[in-house]
């Protein structure tokens, strides 16, 4: 059993509450647009981190993080990238990759829109944790926690940090 903390689109923002909400997680996953290597390092102080780079991430983060990470944890094959779309509206080429890779879980960011959707046709769960940073138009900053237990994905929690306002 693995407890996962998930976030995306921090855009250089590290909120001290990340440590509180991700305490006890076995891994933290960041779905891109990290913004600053310091955010990644501070997350690593909390738990081991898997991260992909996003479209705003510069050379330092691109050397540290791949564009796509495909891995198996417990009994679940995971495909994580920043720009993916969602069931019925995948980004160009993504559906074909998902058909070839056959993940059970897809993790994405980019839209700043919290989404948890099941793709019946591809038999996969897509999770986009929304945006944890201040950049963008989202009204509420969000994080996600969930458990992977064997082949089961369960106990998904959405954490609302606060309305999107500056001044932390």
For residue range 67-79, list pLDDT tens digits in order.
Answer: 999 999 999 999 9
Q: What are the backbone dihedrals phi and psi of residue 143, each rounded to the nearest 5 degrees, phi first?
A: -130, 165
19 CB neighbour count, 10 Å cutoff: 14
Distance CA 16, CA 5 (A): 14
Side-chain half-sphere CA neighbours of 112 within 13 A: 14
Look up the pTM and report it.
0.95
pLDDT at 3: 98
């Amino acid at each position: 059993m693995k407890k996962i903390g998930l976030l995306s689109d921090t855009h250089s923002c590290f909120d001290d509450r990340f440590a509180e909400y991700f305490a006890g997680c076995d891994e933290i996953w960041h779905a891109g647009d990290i913004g600053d290597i310091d955010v990644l390092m501070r997350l690593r102080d909390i738990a081991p981190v898997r991260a992909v780079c996003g479209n705003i991430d510069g050379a330092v983060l691109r050397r540290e993080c791949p564009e796509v990470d495909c891995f198996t944890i417990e009994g679940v094959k995971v495909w994580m990238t920043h720009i993916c779309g969602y069931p019925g509206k995948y980004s160009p080429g993504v559906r074909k990759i998902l058909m070839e890779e056959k993940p059970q879980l897809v993790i994405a960011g980019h839209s700043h829109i919290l989404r948890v959707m099941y793709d019946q046709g591809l038999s996969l769960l897509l999770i986009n944790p929304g945006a944890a940073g201040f950049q963008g138009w989202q009204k509420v900053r969000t994080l996600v926690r969930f458990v992977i237990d064997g082949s089961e994905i369960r106990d998904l929690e959405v954490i609302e940090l606060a309305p999107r306002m500056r001044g932390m």
